Structure 1
């Protein structure tokens, strides 16, 4: 893997009433407009995608995971990974104080070293968006909000859209929505597509991340189909998981999604980001994912505008590894703040 050695530098929402009808679905880009013309054409397209060779996919992901990088390239990779983190707290016990502390950590991950990059965003529930915005005010750290009845997505569409409106009205820069996995697994692909389109419209200027919950989709073929539905519907990012189930981001499912965004841009000219979330805890893990990005989608995705990590504990390990490179010794977990 060849990586650069220079470190990374540092809306108005729709206000329709919450019970308004969802916006009509828009045609997919370019040559794919006919694909979403009906439930039948969408199904035909999705089931016509090449089948995934599970053994080959996992073997390639494992092989890429053996790559190693050293010295200045490793230092660059650590700073890049820090700059790609959506620092996240999504707990029922979240308080304003916890969110303010999270925002402070996003802005200054290592208060003893102001050369440490900021994280890309903080990710919170809609009712904590305003608090998070205050905590990161005056910086380029974004505020992402989960929405659409996260994490299960079991709600009527008007409730989901109201959730989105609340988050955007509070100042969210990004919306992380969950798809209706029940509809997807039942084969109702058009319902999934139309809900994503409606959420995209309601999000206004906020960028939209579409969460598939890959651990519940059962097969790699389903993950590929979900990726294409999300991209056709206008997702700015496709995201693996909520972090709330047993199987979250893996090298194999992330590799598959990276192949999808690469192929989508080749055919439409539209670039879509990827966000693995859940279970990525160590610097070694993060580097493996960066290698996947570089070797699969390419260097154009090695930027926090196009690739993110959904994580919280990952940041602490990256900071300890960064300190080790600078001082020659590990400082230990007592020297980084606990999320």
Structure 2
């Protein structure tokens, strides 16, 4: 069954007036044509990008990366090393652009902020009981405020997937809205953990729910659950941000995270962004990659474009 188009203008405020209104709105969204979505990304994935256009795409992809370390064994030293790479991804080439952001746990935000001062690279912090999202709202808000006070420019929160899958949309909405308020001036990225949402229809509903609640970005995954980002899921989310703006909402960013490892993969995503949302979203302010290992391949491909040959494995640092 093909997607039914979302109307150009909707009364978005009425959609959040009550639990009943919210449920009616989300379940009234067009169903996702699974076969059509997968066929579309397969077709777009065959686009050939060469020479100058490929060089521009590689530069843009580097600028869109959120370098991330989210392990229990993280140390201040590891964050300092990551921050240095974020500022100068290719120390041998000062023309190489910096990445968009460095993402760390809240207790390491202060370290990242100090190392990145003056660079233009943002500091992002996960919060709200990452990666499960299962803690009382008071704890989630306290963690968010702690990260913002330490200097975080962006907060990556996770939704309570259990509440969403149980149909408790109002509870999820209220938590996102409360975290958004706790962010103050920091931008809020809302992680849907699409690998646990089961269907494309749920991905579309969760995307709209997050945007209605105030998300500045919607993000596929924590990187801790498989599958993480996929092109079909990202297409559904990109259609949501496009339609949300057209329906009278704000412009909202989108971030696929997890499993994107090669420059070839990154360019496929950029093609899907351009063909779905248009050039407005081809900017680090509106599209990011949550894929630290991707950076090394982008650097290798960038060097090949410039010199005509691949460098050895020691050309880039190992994260």
Tell me whether the two structures share a fold, i.e. TM-score over 0.5. Answer: yes
Q: Number of residue pairs matched?
A: 311
SS in 1 for 2:247: helix
Match 2:86 to one of 92, 106, 114? 106
- Give CA deviations for 1:267-293 in whole Å, capped at 9, x if unaligned: 115100000000000000000000000
In 2, are the aligned partners of 1:316 and 1:336 still within 8 Å (CA)?
A: yes
Q: How far off is 1:89 after superposition? A: 0.5
How far apart, in 2, do the equivalents of 1:30 and 1:237 lie? Answer: 20
Instruction: State whether structure 2 residue 198 is matched by structure 1 residue 218.
Output: yes
In 1, are the aligned partners of 2:65 and 2:288 still within 8 Å (CA)?
A: yes
State the partner residue of 1:85.
Answer: 65
- Give CA deviations for 1:79-118 in whole Å, capped at 9, x if unaligned: 0000000000000010100000000000000000000010
Instruction: State whether structure 2 residue 153 is matched by structure 1 residue 173.
Output: yes
State the partner residue of 2:6.
Answer: none
Q: How far off is 1:68 after superposition? A: 1.3
State the partner residue of 1:227.
Answer: 207
State the partner residue of 2:144.
Answer: 164
Unaligned runs of 5+ in 1: 1-28
Match 1:305 to one of 285, 298, 319? 285
In 2, are the aligned partners of 1:107 and 1:136 still within 8 Å (CA)?
A: yes
How far apart, in 2, do the equivalents of 1:234 and 1:176 lie? Answer: 13
How far apart, in 2, do the equivalents of 1:333 and 1:256 lie? Answer: 36
In 2, are the aligned partners of 1:316 and 1:333 still within 8 Å (CA)?
A: no
Instruction: State whether structure 2 residue 307 is matched by structure 1 residue 330.
Output: no
Residues 225 and 280 of structure 1, relative CA distance in 2, 3 Å threshold: same
SS in 2 for 1:122: strand
How far apart, in 1, do the equivalents of 2:304 and 2:54 lie? Answer: 12
State the partner residue of 1:270.
Answer: 250
In 1, are the aligned partners of 2:12 and 2:249 still within 8 Å (CA)?
A: no
Match 1:34 to one of 1, 11, 14? 14
State the partner residue of 2:232.
Answer: 252
Q: How far off is 1:30 after superposition? A: 7.5
Q: How far off is 1:231 after superposition? A: 0.7
Please tell me the root mean square deviation across aligned C-alpha atoms, in Å.
1.0
SS in 2 for 1:158: helix
Q: How far off is 1:333 after superposition? A: 2.4
How far apart, in 1, do the equivalents of 2:302 and 2:171 lie? Answer: 45
Q: How far off is 1:332 after superposition? A: 2.8
SS in 2 for 1:210: strand
